[in-house]
Structure 1
Amino acid sequence: MIGITETGVYFPPRIETAKEIAARAEIPEEVIVEKFGLVQKHISDNRIHASDMAIEAARSILEKIDPLSIDVLIYFGSSYKDYMVWTCGTKIVHELGLKNAYAFEIMNVSSCFPIALKVAKDMLVSDPTIHNILLVGGCKEAELVDYQNVRSRFMFNFADGGAAALVQRGSARSRVLGSSILTDGSFHDDVRVVGGGSKHPASLESVQQRLHYLDVKDPKDMKKRLDPVSVNHFVHVVQHALEKSGHSVRDINWLIPLHTKRSMFLELLSRLELNEDRAIYLDHYGHLSALDPCIGLHVGQERRLFRKGDKIVTVSAGTGYTWAATVLEWLES
């Protein structure tokens, strides 16, 4: 049995409320709460970075398992890390004392947690010498938000924090079932940080033009192309992952999605014929890149929401655009 046995999270202490976000973005507070679906979010300072938050999220897990028993560490978090062209997974292995683990990173922006679960399961299935895989992620993408740029308004919910999950062979807590992933690369050029890459290296001009923040090339055009397909693709990967797991939409007990605007969240629930009390909506956390479903899973465990036999669907999407879902079965009473 391959499944998640432990999760961990970390959030920096500073909280930014909807009222504060509204003031910075010059948007009414009720819009932030009701449309953006955001009551508050956590913001880090310049003393802590993506790797540090990933490390802190993993520490509670390593209180329950010998660090020397971890075989693999996979970083699945934000690509906005402490440095460019740098692997934070090696730092995390060192700082956590995972002396028997090798590390690598997978990055698919916000869609990556369901994908990381599939990768971890596939590795455990294919290699009998692997027993424990630690998934870790950090996010400091609130720092990439320019509240004066109306083109990037849909990303004003970006927040900071860390999340981790231990995937083990012989799990008695949960079982990782099927996954489904769908990519539509026609959106590859819509959302990006323009400055700092090889096309637009960092310069005085790139800083003056505020090119080092998240931006949307043409919001109206992206919305025109994305709105007709996005929820359909969410539904598709959920349905397909369930089918590959031997189940259907009727079997969903819990939906754990990324944080989106409230209208999209409610539309997805409606399409899946789920009530709001069967999903975990991160309105007190915001959007932390790929970390959202891992955080939602941790929140569900803390609240003791899951029951033996529950089918839990983690689902997310990342700009570019990729939609991904992975199904879990809860095994504990």
Structure 2
Amino acid sequence: MTERIGIEETSVYFPKDVETAATLAEKTGIPESVIIEKFGLYEKHVADQTMHASDMAIEAAKNILAKVDPLSIDVVIYFGSPHKDYYVWSSAPKISYELGTRNAYAFEIMNVSSCFPIALKVAKDMLNSDHSIENILLVGGCKESQILDYSNKRARFMFNFADGGASALVKRGASKSEILESAIITDGSFHNDVRVPAGGSVHFASYVTVENRQHYIDVTDPLSMKEKLDPVSVPNFHKVIKKSLEKSGLSVEDIQLLLPLHTKRSMLRELLDGLNLSNDKAIYLDHYGHMSALDPCIGLHFASEQGKLKNGDIAVAVSAGTGYTWASTVIKWLG
């Protein structure tokens, strides 16, 4: 009999400082009411200069390792934001070292905001293929509030970028959940639309790139991206959700809870309507914002804490990342 592979523990961390919708209205020039009602954001957490992506990942994972022996962890995988402490640097070794997971090897996977459903698939596949592995610790951090330039009208709509940490323990013989199947779509025609222009080999850091504020996230052509993305985004969300459910022997009618990335209210509503789900069937991070790949993991943690999942319930972690990739992984909750 195949041993169950699932998420046994989750944990989150948020820095203490908060920016409210009123503060964001002052920075962006977008009315506070629009930020709350249209974009679905009351407030978000932001980190100070002492906290970086690796630090927030560590803080989140500490809560799990207070319950689980760090020496029992076989693999540490960082799945968080690519905006980390340093350029051309892996945070996974630091995170593993600081957490005391001395028996683990550590590495990173990165697909911007779509990465948590993908990380679940990678962890499950590793446990299935290598029976020497028992416990995989997924860790992620995000400090993407730092790469916002509120004076850039092309990109200021990304004001929901926020900071935090999240972690999940995926293990063989799990008692609290089972990771079922995943589905992923990539449409590379969007590869040139969203990026931090400078810092890589195309525009290496210089006085000019700093003066031109090219070290912040930018959208090459917002109107063109919207015209291309709007017709396919929600349909691709629906495709990956339905495909992951189908591969799991389930259907849309089986969904008890959706764990999406934070997005504007109209997109969430369209996403839920296409699945015949009510608002209470999704975890919406309107007091936290968007934290790269962390959102579905944070949503699962809140759902568990708030008792929104009971034995046998089906939850779907779904997200999308610029580039553009849509990803979905089905979770059966055992509680």
Name the CA distance, whole Å, in 2 between partners of 1:81 and 1:156: 19
- Residues 1:27 and 2:14 are matched in the alignment: no
Name the CA distance, whole Å, in 2 between partners of 1:19 and 1:111: 29
SS in 2 for 1:253: strand
Consecutive unaligned residues in structure 2, runs of 5 or more: none
TM-score normalised by structure 1 residue count: 0.99
Q: Which amino acid aligns with 2:44?
A: K
Name the CA distance, whole Å, in 2 between partners of 1:282 and 1:155: 15
Name the CA distance, whole Å, in 1 between partners of 2:118 and 2:218: 25
Instruction: Tell me the residue number matched to 2:106.
Output: 103
Name the CA distance, whole Å, in 1 between partners of 2:157 and 2:293: 16
Instruction: Tell me the residue number matched to 2:79.
Output: 76
Q: Which amino acid aligns with 1:259?
A: H
- Residues 1:119 and 2:122 are matched in the alignment: yes
CA displacement, residues 83-109 of structure 1 (integer Å, 9 cap, x when unaligned) = 000000000010000000000100000
Instruction: Tell me the residue number matched to 1:250.
Output: 253
Instruction: Tell me the residue number matched to 1:90.
Output: 93
Name the CA distance, whole Å, in 2 between partners of 1:330 and 1:96: 27
Q: Which amino acid aligns with 1:10?
A: Y
Q: Which amino acid aligns with 2:199?
A: G
Instruction: Tell me the residue number matched to 1:12.
Output: 15
- Count of residue correspondences: 332
CA displacement, residues 263-310 of structure 1 (integer Å, 9 cap, x when unaligned) = 100100000100000110000100000000000001111111100110
Instruction: Tell me the residue number matched to 2:131.
Output: 128
CA displacement, residues 91-136 of structure 1 (integer Å, 9 cap, x when unaligned) = 0010000000000100000000000000000000011110000000
Name the CA distance, whole Å, in 1 between partners of 2:156 and 2:253: 35
Q: Which amino acid aligns with 1:122?
A: D
Name the CA distance, whole Å, in 1 between partners of 2:311 and 2:50: 41
User: Which of 165, 174, 177 does residue 168 from structure 2 map onto?
Assistant: 165
- Residues 1:294 and 2:297 are matched in the alignment: yes
CA displacement, residues 137-171 of structure 1 (integer Å, 9 cap, x when unaligned) = 00000000111111113311000000000001000
Name the CA distance, whole Å, in 2 between partners of 1:181 and 1:130: 25
Q: Which amino acid aligns with 1:68?
A: L
SS in 1 for 2:106: strand
Instruction: Tell me the residue number matched to 2:156.
Output: 153
Name the CA distance, whole Å, in 2 between partners of 1:287 and 1:150: 19
SS in 2 for 1:16: strand
Consecutive unaligned residues in structure 1, runs of 5 or more: none
- Residues 1:42 and 2:45 are matched in the alignment: yes
Q: Which amino acid aligns with 2:160?
A: N
Name the CA distance, whole Å, in 2 between partners of 1:78 and 1:27: 26
Name the CA distance, whole Å, in 2 between partners of 1:271 and 1:254: 14
Name the CA distance, whole Å, in 2 between partners of 1:198 and 1:36: 34
Name the CA distance, whole Å, in 2 between partners of 1:93 and 1:229: 39
- Residues 1:222 and 2:256 are matched in the alignment: no
Task: Please give the residue correspondences for 1:249-288 in structure 2 after superposition, counting only pairs within 5 Å.
Answer: 249-288=252-291
Name the CA distance, whole Å, in 2 between partners of 1:330 and 1:297: 10
Name the CA distance, whole Å, in 1 between partners of 2:243 and 2:150: 37
- Residues 1:310 and 2:313 are matched in the alignment: yes
Name the CA distance, whole Å, in 1 between partners of 2:271 and 2:284: 12
User: Which of 170, 175, 200 does residue 197 from structure 1 map onto?
Assistant: 200
1:36 CA drift (Å): 1.0
Name the CA distance, whole Å, in 1 between partners of 2:15 and 2:272: 30
Q: Which amino acid aligns with 1:323?
A: W
Name the CA distance, whole Å, in 1 between partners of 2:148 and 2:267: 21
User: Which of 236, 243, 259 does residue 240 from structure 1 map onto?
Assistant: 243
1:77 CA drift (Å): 0.3
CA displacement, residues 205-252 of structure 1 (integer Å, 9 cap, x when unaligned) = 111101000000000000000000000000000000000100000110
Name the CA distance, whole Å, in 2 between partners of 1:154 and 1:172: 41
Name the CA distance, whole Å, in 2 between partners of 1:260 and 1:250: 23
Name the CA distance, whole Å, in 2 between partners of 1:173 and 1:183: 31
Name the CA distance, whole Å, in 2 between partners of 1:209 and 1:34: 33
Identity within the alignment, %: 66
Name the CA distance, whole Å, in 1 between partners of 2:59 and 2:227: 40
Instruction: Tell me the residue number matched to 2:65.
Output: 62
Q: Which amino acid aligns with 1:202?
A: A
Name the CA distance, whole Å, in 2 between partners of 1:13 and 1:205: 35
